[in-house]
Every structure is written in structure tokens, then in C-alpha cells.
Structure 1
Amino acid sequence: MSPERFARINQMLDNRQADLTLCLDTVHKSQNISAIVRTADAVGIHQVHAVWPDIEMRVSGNTASGSQQWVKTIVHHNMNDAAQAFNSQNMQVLATNFSESAVDFRKVDYTKPTVIIMGNERDGVSPEGLAIADQHIIIPMLGMVQSLNVSVASALIMYEAQMQREKAGMYGKRTLDYAYCQKMLFEQGHPVYAKACRRKNIPYPTIDQQGQIAADESWWQRMREPDPNAEEA
């Protein structure tokens, strides 16, 4: 891995916000999912959640988001499962919804551990998603149209969260665990070796402070051995 690549990946890891995320509530159009995940990466969101109740939706959604190698998509079969994940991290749960209790999305404190539930364009956030929300939020609109594309709405909210967190000095401080950072450094800095490890079922090695593989001779010997799966093919 080049020094420039190593520095770039480390900068990304230093800026990841482990306690800020989105939950896509039956959002299934691939172009919307891809756009949301790209924006999540841009603002430093570590992972997004998606509630996809049926098999077809899970397959379609995973295909769309699988190309996004920097942001992991965690799939839940129902909102209750997602809620347990959010509660375990003591996150405030926000849901986009036009209700009497809804507040301007810019009035919320996003420096707290936060998950933002975004619904699909036809139905919005599901009743189950609305029920677990601590606060409903809206994006004020002055025109005739009363809703935005879900990827556009998500981007507006995510960048508001980024702005607040930047002002609070929350970027540039690594909060991700060591094992995950090592995995990302290896997979994204040494992709050929990472692919070989997965094929041969070899554990990932450690990446040293210069971005190079730190492995003993036995690891390299296993790496040099013929690929049994290739021989079978």
C-alpha cells in the first residue's frame, strides 16, 4: 500500500461517526439506496441500517448497496429488530414525518448518538418506525410540493448533522474499534491479498504503522500455496 493510500484510509477512519446512522424503512429503489449510501460515506457515517421485510427487497437492496465498500448496510427483517440495535447504543431515534409534534430538522441536536429513520416515498416511515421515534422531524417547504426524494431529504439531514458535529469538534477523533480498522486497512490497502485470504480461508494479518502487512513466515507460506478452489475449478 502506498503512503498516500494509507494516509487516505486512516483519515477516513479518523472521521467516521460510529454513533450517527440512518435507518432506511423499506426504501428499496436501488438508485435511492446507492445515493443515500454515497452521501453517508461523504459525511463520515460508518454504517446504515435497512428494514427490508421480504426476501425480494433484501436481495434487491443488498445488490444496490454492496458496491459501496466503505459503508456497511445492516439489514433487519423488521423494525423491532432495528429498535433493539438502536437501544443498545442509547441512540435518540428521529423519524421524518408530518405530524403535529414534528420539529424543523435543524432544531435537533445531532451531536447526541442519533439514528434517523427515513421512509420510502410512497408510504413514508412505517407505523412501527414512528412508534419507536423519540422525535418526529420535518424539512420545511415553501412550494406546492410537500415531499422530497428520499435521497435528497436524507442528504439535507445528514449534512446538518455533519455541520453540528464539526462545530463540536467530533471529527478527526477515531472512535471505531481496532479490529475493524485493521480489516479496512487490509481489504482496501491490499485487496489482492485480501481476496486470496477469503478464497483460501486464511486469517487476515496485522497492518503495521507504515501500512504494510506484518505477518510471519507461516502466513506467507500459506499465501504461496496453490489455491485448492482454483484446482477444483
Structure 2
Amino acid sequence: MQQWEKLLNEKKLSIEEQQRLWDFLSHYITPRRKTLFQEKIAHRTYHITVVVEDIYQERNASAVVRSAECFGVQSVHIIENHNEYKIAKGIAKGADKWVDLHIYDQKEQNNTEVCLQSLKAQGYRLVATTPHQDDCYIHELDLRYPTAFIMGGEKDGLTPTAMEMADAYVKIPIYGFTESFNLSVATAIILYESTRRLHQSDIKWQLSEELRLRKLIEWTLKSVSDANKLLARFFEEQASNAN
């Protein structure tokens, strides 16, 4: 975690304070980048998230992150029970800079269980992406609830823990002889279909104003060369004005 991230977490800024910070920081990026950030933030969502379990090919893991970022899905959860997550720069194309990556890598614990319990506590409905007797097609899935799509590893698919903890099961229509899609392709199809339906619905899938400001601030701090100094300067000025 960067120094500026720790400081932001410690300060627990109100919406008004975050607005002032965003106004301050936006002077240090180009007008074009500021406009770009504002355009992209309007399509970001936490209503959908992606969980990937024990991916061993770094190109697949990176492609999942890239797809999530492209479709405006703000968070990705990486479970490392056996395989370590590594970013393939040529595949990710910098997508990991703009999304929230949560990596579960503690040794000697069931990281799948820890991750999924955390998501359930946050109100997510856990949807295993695998054929199952109680499954439905992706275009039939009820998206009214915050949804975490769980993707299994390339060789063995989802673990028994993931299957048991899932609240629902979803599959993609297949019309050829091959039984399944590549992991990264399957993720892209699922995210395309689910975000497409969300955008056409009356579901409140967009970020709250507070979360929008938080992401704008984080993106800006990731884009400037002296993020720690800029943030320190802002808080010094705020303290001075208060006196």
C-alpha cells in the first residue's frame, strides 16, 4: 500500500472534504485526463464483481482483470490457494492500475472460504460459473442483487468449497462440440452480458457520490509524480485555513 493510500484511509474524509480534495488534485492533471476520468467513473460499478480461483496461467489472470476494467467492473478478487497471481503486462495493458485488486494469499488457510465469506458479509450473492443441476443461462440470471461471479481455475474448475458456498449457478450457451470456453473468454462473455443488462435496467448499479469521488481521487494520485507531497500539501492547507 502506498503512503498516500494509508493517509487517505486514516483521514476518513467526508463527501465535502473529498470534493475539495478532488478539486485540488484535478489542477495537477491535464483537462483531457480530467474529462476522461469523469467519463469513465460514470460507468463504474461494484454491483458486479469477479472472483478468480487458483488461476495458474498469468495471461489468463491478466485477461480477466483487463476484461473487468473494460466493462467498468471496479473490483476483482484473486484467490491463491496453490497458484500465485502474476500480472502479464502485455495482456493486462495497465488495467490493474484502475481496478481494485483484492488478493487472498495467506498460507495454511482456505482462501476461497475467507474470500467468499467476506463477499457474503458485504451483501454479495455468490454465483458459480459452471454447469449445475440448478443452473441458469447468463441472460436469465437475476441481477437485482449485488453479484459476485466465481471463476474456476483452468484445469480443475471450481473447488468443492466454492460450489458449496455458491448461492446460484450460471452457464453460457454453447452450440459447438467443445464443452467449455477458455477462462478469460468466459469471463468476458459473462461481464458483457451482465453489464449490458444492468445498463438497460432500473437497478442502481452506479457508484455512490462518495465512492465516485474516492475513485477519482485515487486515479488522480496514481497519475501524478508526487502524490505523497500533493496530498500532504492539501492537508496542510486545510489545517491552515481551519485556523
Task: Identify the TM-score tier after normalising by the shorter chain.
Answer: 0.7 to 0.9
2: CA distance, partners of 1:164 / 1:204 = 39
**Residue number among 24, 43, 64 corresponding to 1:15 in the alignment:** 43
**Residue number among 89, 101, 125 corresponding to 2:134 in the alignment:** 101
Name the counterpart of 2:70: 42
Map 1:193-208 → 2, pairs under 5 A: 193-194=226-227, 197=228, 202=229, 204=231
Map 1:24-35 → 2, pairs under 5 A: 24-35=52-63
Name the counterpart of 2:86: 61
Q: TM-score, normalised by structure 2?
A: 0.74
1: CA distance, partners of 2:205 / 2:172 = 29
TM-aligned CA deviation for residue 151 of structure 1: 0.4
Name the counterpart of 1:153: 186
TM-aligned CA deviation for residue 181 of structure 1: 3.1
- What secondary structure does 1:151 align onto? helix
Q: Where does structure 1 lack aligned partners over 5 or more consecutive residues?
A: 207-212, 220-233
Q: Deviations over 1:87-141 (max 9, x none)?
A: 1221111001222112112110224200000011211111111111111111121
* Larger relative contact order, structure 1 or 2 (CA cutoff 8 Å, min sep 6): 2
Give aligned-pair identity as a percent: 23
Q: Which moved more, 1:76-85 or 1:157-166?
A: 76-85
Given that 1:111 and 1:168 are in contact with CA atoms closer than 8 Å, whether structure 2 keeps it comes out as no
RMSD: 2.8
Name the counterpart of 2:99: 71
Name the counterpart of 1:216: 237
Report the residue type matching 2:220 in the other structure.
L
2: CA distance, partners of 1:82 / 1:149 = 23
2: CA distance, partners of 1:134 / 1:106 = 17
Given that 1:26 and 1:51 are in contact with CA atoms closer than 8 Å, whether structure 2 keeps it comes out as yes
Question: 1:105/1:66 Cα in 2 relative to 1: closer, same or farther (>3 Å)?
Answer: same
Given that 2:41 and 2:216 are in contact with CA atoms closer than 8 Å, whether structure 1 keeps it comes out as yes
Q: Deviations over 1:144-173 (max 9, x none)?
A: 100110000001100111111110256894
Q: TM-score, normalised by structure 1?
A: 0.76
Report the residue type matching 1:184 in the other structure.
W
Given that 2:47 and 2:206 are in contact with CA atoms closer than 8 Å, whether structure 1 keeps it comes out as no
Name the counterpart of 2:120: 87
Report the residue type matching 1:21 in the other structure.
T
